[in-house]
């Protein structure tokens, strides 16, 4: 549980300009800046409760720090691809242009590399430029991994007169956004930095959902269902599906629950072993003896146990789970095949890795709606002078969360929580340790 002071959102100064939005009956009104969203919503009757903590509520403010017609906004997308990036970019542009009258919006190319003087020049983002991008996967602005110096990025923002920046990305992106905000504050530069959290893995702390996750689960479920069909078609058929999830198994768990055809779900938060009487291979043998087919879903992060710190890393410092030595899907395929061959038992194994399909598709309906809401709330926060924060959602209410808090931890699946309990109920799998 965070400390109360850690939930306090920074502002650039007094909000002195009237919002151009015209809200109120019959439309919802402005959100009072004192409105809060409770951190905890449950308690045990009769037990003493700790001091309640609150997030600052998101939404449009009646008074703004910036005069919108004097704003130059910047948008940058970083990290890996994710369904919904283009939706967020489009909605940021449309809200800034049509609702607030911001005259100039720049799109920085290829991640934080584009926020340096050596990067590709930014592009002007207009409603016409983003009119149809929400129908496509990927990112109009491109993406990249790797760190850049905060001072160099703030230099570039000041060169271009950018006073509102929207970084769209995951953990590494948000750490970079925090560094930009701190460097701007050190210089006394009034630059609002408001992040939009993006990670397919759904592992951003203090956020109940990240955009792209529901689309990822939908595509992953299709792969799982295909694996089930393949497994049913042969005697001792095994369908093995590897899905994304570096350190958190939310996609694997949700796809398992959506499909209802999975027999073994393997996630990074729950240790498992391959060998021994209680290991996966023994449990798989028993499953095939009784039902003649099985489906296994594994999150890519399970491969970390194979190499740990010795594994190859990408430019952002993340383990390369697709590398040959760390690919848990290939490792399981070979281990299962070897195990049954040694016992002279027939086996037909089909391996499916839909990772890049999951990353690159357009957002589904649910994610499209969510992306638009995140983008609009980010614009409201930035023009009100909020900075060094992200827009998130908690208990289905949009919130403002400080970047130093968000980047201090990660969300993981609770081995004793409802989600993992539901997975074990759906699969019937034993404890594989």
Cα torsion for 421, 422, 424, 427, to the nearest 10°?
180
**What would the DSSP string read from start to end of 39-55?**
S-----TTSPPPPP-EE
Residues 49-56 have a mean pLDDT of 87
Q: Are strands 192-197 and 389-394 parallel, antiparallel or unpaired?
A: parallel
| Residue 270 or 433, more confident | 270
Per the annotation, the verdict on 414 as an active-site residue is no
**β 54-57/36-38 pair status:** antiparallel
Q: Residue 341: its pLDDT value, please?
A: 95
Give the residue-averaged pLDDT of 249-257.
Answer: 97
Residues of the chain with pLDDT > 90, as a percent, come to 82
CA distances from 238 to 184, 300, 424 (A): 55, 18, 19
pTM of the entire predicted model = 0.91
Distance CA 360, CA 182 (A): 33
The C-alpha atoms of residue 225 and residue 222 are separated, in whole angstroms, by 5
Q: Which of 90-99, 351-360, 420-429 has the lowest mean pLDDT?
A: 351-360
pLDDT for residue 18 is more than 60: yes
> What gap in Å lies between CA 165 and CA 193, rounded to an integer?
5
pLDDT at residue 16, rounded to an integer: 95
The residue that leads in pLDDT, 5 or 215, is: 215
The pLDDT-based confidence of 313 (bands split at 50, 70, 90) is low
Omega before residue 26 within 30° of 0, cis: yes
Nearest partner of 266 among 409, 424, 425, judged by Cα? 424
| Model confidence band, residue 24 (pLDDT cutoffs 50, 70, 90) | confident
Confidence band of 322 (pLDDT split at 50, 70, 90): low
Contact predicate 83/137, CB 8 Å: yes
Cα–Cα–Cα angle for 30, 392, 111, rounded to 5 degrees: 115
> For residue 324, is pLDDT > 60?
no
What is the model's pLDDT at position 305? Answer: 62
pLDDT of residue 278: 92
> Does the pLDDT at position 9 exceed 80?
yes
φ/ψ of 197, rounded to 5, equals -70, 130
Domains observed in the chain: 4-210+363-394 (3.40.50.450), 214-360+416-427 (3.40.50.460)
Query: What DSSP line would sit under 59-86, residue for residue?
Result: S--SEESS-GGG-EEEEEE-SS--TTHH
Q: What is the pLDDT of residue 302?
A: 92
**pLDDT tens column, 130-139:** 999 999 999 9
User: d(Cα 220, Cα 214) in Å, to the nearest integer?
Assistant: 10
Per-residue pLDDT, 320: 53
Environment class of 268 (CB within 10 Å of its CB; exposed 0-12, middle 13-18, buried 19+): buried
**How far is CA 296 from each of CA 228, 251, 329, 421, rounded to the nearest angstrom?**
9, 14, 10, 17
| Average pLDDT rounded to a whole number, residues 213-231 | 96
Please determine, for residue 308, whether its predicted confidence score (pLDDT) is greater than 60.
no
Least confident of 35-49, 89-103, 121-135: 35-49
Q: Which of 32, 155, 171, 201 is catalytic?
A: 201
232 burial level (CB within 10 Å; 0-12, 13-18, 19+): middle
Q: Give me the pLDDT at residue 113, please.
A: 94
Give pLDDT, residue 306. 54
Cα angle 338, 340, 341 (rounded to 5 degrees) comes to: 65
Q: What is the mean pLDDT of residues 22-37?
A: 91
Q: Comparing 16-30, 36-50, 203-217, which segment has the lowest mean pLDDT? A: 36-50
Would you state the pLDDT for residue 326? 73
């Amino acid at each position: 549980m965070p400390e109360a002071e850690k939930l306090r959102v920074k502002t650039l100064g007094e909000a002195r300009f009237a919002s151009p939005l015209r809200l109120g009956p019959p439309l919802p009104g402005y959100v009072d800046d004192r409105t809060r969203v409770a951190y905890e919503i449950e308690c045990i009757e009769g037990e003493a409760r700790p001091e309640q903590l609150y997030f600052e509520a998101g939404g449009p403010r009646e008074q703004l720090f910036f005069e919108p017609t004097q704003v130059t906004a910047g948008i940058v997308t970083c990290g890996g691809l994710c369904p919904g990036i283009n939706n967020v970019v489009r909605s940021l542009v449309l809200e800034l242009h049509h609702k607030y009258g911001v005259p100039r919006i720049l799109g920085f190319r290829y991640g934080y590399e584009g926020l340096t003087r050596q990067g590709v020049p930014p592009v002007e983002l207009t409603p016409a430029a983003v009119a149809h991008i929400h129908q496509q996967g990927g990112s109009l602005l491109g993406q990249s991994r790797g760190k850049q110096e905060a001072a160099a990025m703030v230099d570039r923002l000041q060169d271009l007169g950018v006073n509102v920046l929207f970084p769209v990305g995951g953990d590494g992106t948000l750490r970079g956004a925090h560094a930009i905000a701190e460097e701007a504050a050190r210089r006394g530069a009034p630059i609002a930095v408001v992040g939009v959290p993006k990670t397919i893995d759904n592992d951003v702390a203090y956020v109940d959902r990240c955009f792209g996750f529901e689309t990822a689960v939908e595509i992953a479920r299709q792969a799982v269902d295909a694996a089930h069909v393949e497994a049913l078609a042969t005697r001792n058929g095994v369908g093995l599906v590897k899905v994304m999830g570096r350190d958190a198994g939310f996609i694997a768990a949700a796809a398992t629950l959506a499909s209802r055809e999975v027999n073994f779900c393997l996630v990074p938060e729950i240790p498992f072993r391959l060998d021994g009487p209680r290991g996966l291979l023994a449990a798989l043998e028993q499953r095939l003896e009784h039902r003649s087919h099985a489906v296994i879903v594994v999150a890519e992060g399970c491969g970390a146990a194979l190499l740990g710190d010795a594994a190859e890393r990408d430019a952002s410092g993340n383990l390369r789970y697709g590398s040959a030595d760390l690919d848990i899907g290939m490792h399981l395929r070979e281990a299962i095949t070897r195990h049954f061959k040694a016992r002279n038992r027939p086996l037909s194994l089909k391996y499916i890795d839909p990772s890049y399909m999951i990353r690159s598709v357009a957002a589904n309906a649910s994610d499209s709606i969510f992306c638009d809401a995140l983008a609009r709330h980010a614009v409201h926060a930035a023009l009100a002078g909020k900075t060094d924060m992200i827009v998130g959602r908690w208990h289905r209410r949009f919130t403002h969360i400080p970047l130093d808090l968000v980047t201090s931890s990660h969300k993981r699946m609770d081995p004793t929580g409802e989600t993992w309990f539901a997975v074990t109920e759906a699969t019937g799998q034993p404890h594989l340790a």
